[in-house]
Amino acid sequence: MNNKKKSKIIIRILNKIYPKVPIPLNYKNTFTLLISVLLSAQCTDVNVNNVTKNIYPKYYRPEHFVKLGRKKIESLIRKIGIFRIKAKSIFYLSKTLLEKHKGKVPNTYEELENLPGVGHKTASVVMSQGFGYPAFPVDTHIHRLAQRWGITNGKNVEQTEKDLKNLFPKKYWNRLHLQIIWYG
């Protein structure tokens, strides 16, 4: 069976299993979505949600995190892996947003990826879930499933993202990315 046929079957099955697809991370606004995605690196979404449920009611804008400072951010996210590195990124990301973007999360890949601690996958999630732009964020789970399904032979998530974008119609990307995460 060729990959186009496989892609149609995958879409049909995932639409049947997941007719409604919730976003796994809880957030209050685009800024807290960005922070949650940054925190989710090498960590479960459940753990991120458990930590941020006590943070976001009080702190949900870049100026809040700048005012908190790195040490206080560290203490708030201590239960998350590599929390010191992430606290540093959150602090400097918040500072950069205030200094260069008037406190607003930018809505281009280039500007997002220039923020401290933000890579392509994080930028893709924010572009997709925060701004509604077609994006196909690929993490290790999606990468492994796509390989298992035989729809990519990509050696890394970048190649897998390219393969999936070529295989699936753009109108399905945002939804399909979430469906595959839930399936995985």
Catalytically annotated residues: 121, 139
Cβ(13)–Cβ(183) below 8 Å: no
Q: What's the rounded Cα separation, in Å, for the pair 110 and 27?
A: 23
Q: Are 108 and 128 in contact (CB under 8 A)?
A: no
Picking from 8, 17, 39, 2, the residue whose alpha carbon sits closest to that of residue 180 is 17
3 state SS of 138: coil
Residues 95, 15 contacting (CB under 8 angstroms): no
Which pair of structure tokens corresponds to residue 161? Answer: 């993202």
Core vs surface per residue 169-182: b (16+ CB within 10 A) or e: eeebbbbbbbbbbe
